Structure 1
Amino acid sequence: MTAMFKTVDSIVLFVADIEAAARWYAALLSADVEYENAFYAFVRGPGVTLGFHPADNKCPGGVGGTTVYWTVDDLPASIARLQTLGARLYRGPMVTSFGAQAAMLLDPFGCSIGLNQLAPGEAR
């Protein structure tokens, strides 16, 4: 039997201002903002598409939902860069039980961004 899931296609963030959120992530990822329609903007990032949809009663967005963790080479430098762009530290930095370093920040739109620096010798 083949696996049902192949790869992660997209991550959708529910935000109050899709234009501002899409521009912020586009600048972060050195990418362009694209639009499917007036209610969905997206940015193509490394290995995934980040989508931006207006927050509503069913999906209010914010930190209470799912957090996507991005692998980074230098956790302190990545935290510092995100902070200069308006994100704020929410959790961590900390060392996980596996020896990795992790932190969670909130972007200017209230969505969470997870960062993970692999433990020494760990490869993925």
Structure 2
Amino acid sequence: MFKKIESTMFFADDIHKAAKWYAELLGSEVEYENPDYAFVRGAEMIFGFHPVDEKNNPGRDGSVTYWEIDDITSAISTLTSMGATLYRGPGKTDLGADVAMLIDPFGNAIGLNQSPTPNAV
């Protein structure tokens, strides 16, 4: 049924600023579907940006997408140098993965996962 993650949606007061931040992180460009939806292509998926509204707001109250990374220390350093803040971790799961959660400058959670062995999904 599920094949891969096609996209993830972030909510921000300023979708243009949020999309630009992620475009810089991913080495990509900001694109627009319409004035209220910006997106960035990278990491084999789409990062979408929708304005905050009464149904959706940013934060750590909902689902968190965890990104597989090669070096958790380097990833945390890169993200914090760009304005993200460490929220949880770094820590180690019972399965031996190194994990951390950061909050981007727009209030959205970013999960990091460094598996103990490559492609240990």
Q: Is the shorter-chain TM-score for this pair beyond 0.5, marking a shared fold?
A: yes
Q: Structure 1 unaligned segments of length 5 or more: list them.
A: none
Structure 2 CA distance for aligned equivalents of residues 24 and 63 of structure 1: 19
Structure 1 CA distance for aligned equivalents of residues 118 and 21 of structure 2: 33
Deviation at 1:122, TM superposition (A): 5.9
Q: Which has the larger radius of gyration?
A: 1
Give matches, 1:1-124, under 5 Å: 3=1, 5-120=2-117, 123-124=120-121
Q: SS of 2:39's equivalent?
A: strand
Q: Please tell me the residue identity of whatever aligns with 2:110.
A: I
Aligned residues: 121
Structure 2 CA distance for aligned equivalents of residues 88 and 102 of structure 1: 14
Q: SS of 1:44's equivalent?
A: strand
Deviation at 1:22, TM superposition (A): 0.1
Q: Please tell me the residue identity of whatever aligns with 1:113.
A: I
1:49–1:18 Cα change, 3 Å? same
Identity of aligned residues (%): 50
TM-score by length of structure 1 reads 0.92
Root-mean-square deviation (Å):
1.3
